[in-house]
Copies of this chain bind each other. A is one copy, B any other.
Amino acid sequence: MRVVETDFQAWMGGVQARMESALGRLLPAAHLAPARLHEAMRYAVLEGGKRVRPLLAFGAGEVARAAPERLETVAAAVELIHAYSLVHDDLPCMDDDVLRRGKPTLHVEYDEATALLVGDALQSLAFQLLAEHRLADSPHAQLDMVRTLALAAGSRGMAGGQQIDLASTGSALGLPELEYMHIHKTGALIRAAVTLGAGCGQASEHERHKLDHYAKAMGLAFQVVDDILDCDASTATLGKTAGKDSKQRKPTYVSILGLSRARELAGELRAEAQAALEGLGGRARRLAELADFIVLRKF
Q: Which residues on the B side are within 8 Å of A93 (C-beta)? A: 91, 111-113, 116
Partner of A139, one of B37, B143, B156: B143
Q: Contacts A114-B163, A116-B116, A146-B146: A151 and B128 contacting too (C-beta < 8 A)?
A: yes
Task: Report whether B121 and A160 are in contact in the complex, using a CB–CB cutoff of 8 Å.
Answer: yes
Task: Report whether A130 and B146 are in contact in the complex, using a CB–CB cutoff of 8 Å.
Answer: yes
Task: Report whether A155 and B113 are in contact in the complex, using a CB–CB cutoff of 8 Å.
Answer: no
Partner of A32, one of B146, B153, B156, B159: B156
Most B Cβ at <10 Å: residue of A94, A154, A164, A166: A154
Partner of A155, one of B28, B94, B149: B28
Partner of A142, one of B28, B85, B139, B163: B139
Chain B residue with Cβ nearest A154:
B124
- Per-position contact with B for A60-104: 1 when CB-CB < 8 Å, else 0? 000000000000000000000000110010010110000000000
Say if the beta carbon of A125 comes within 8 Å of chain B: yes
Q: Contacts A128-B147, A139-B143: A34 and B121 contacting too (C-beta < 8 A)?
A: no
Task: Report whether B128 and A163 are in contact in the complex, using a CB–CB cutoff of 8 Å.
Answer: no
Say if the beta carbon of A150 comes within 8 Å of chain B: yes
Say if the beta carbon of A2 comes within 8 Å of chain B: no
Q: Which residues on the B side are within 8 Å of A142 (C-beta)? A: 139, 143
Chain B residue with Cβ nearest A160:
B34
Which A residues between 152 and 172 are near B, CB-CB below 8 angstroms? 153-157, 159-160, 162-164, 166-167
Task: Report whether B94 and A116 are in contact in the complex, using a CB–CB cutoff of 8 Å.
Answer: yes
Q: Which residues on the B side are within 8 Å of A132 (C-beta)? A: 143, 147
A residues with a Cβ closer than 8 A to B are 28, 32-34, 36-38, 41, 84-85, 88, 91, 93-94, 111-114, 116-117, 119-121, 123-125, 127-128, 130-132, 138-140, 142-144, 146-147, 149-151, 153-157, 159-160, 162-164, 166-167
**What are 26 A-B pairs with beta-carbon distances under 8 A?**
A28-B155, A34-B163, A36-B163, A37-B155, A38-B155, A41-B155, A84-B120, A88-B117, A91-B116, A93-B112, A93-B113, A117-B163, A119-B120, A120-B120, A120-B153, A120-B159, A124-B151, A124-B154, A124-B157, A128-B147, A128-B154, A131-B143, A131-B150, A138-B139, A139-B140, A143-B146
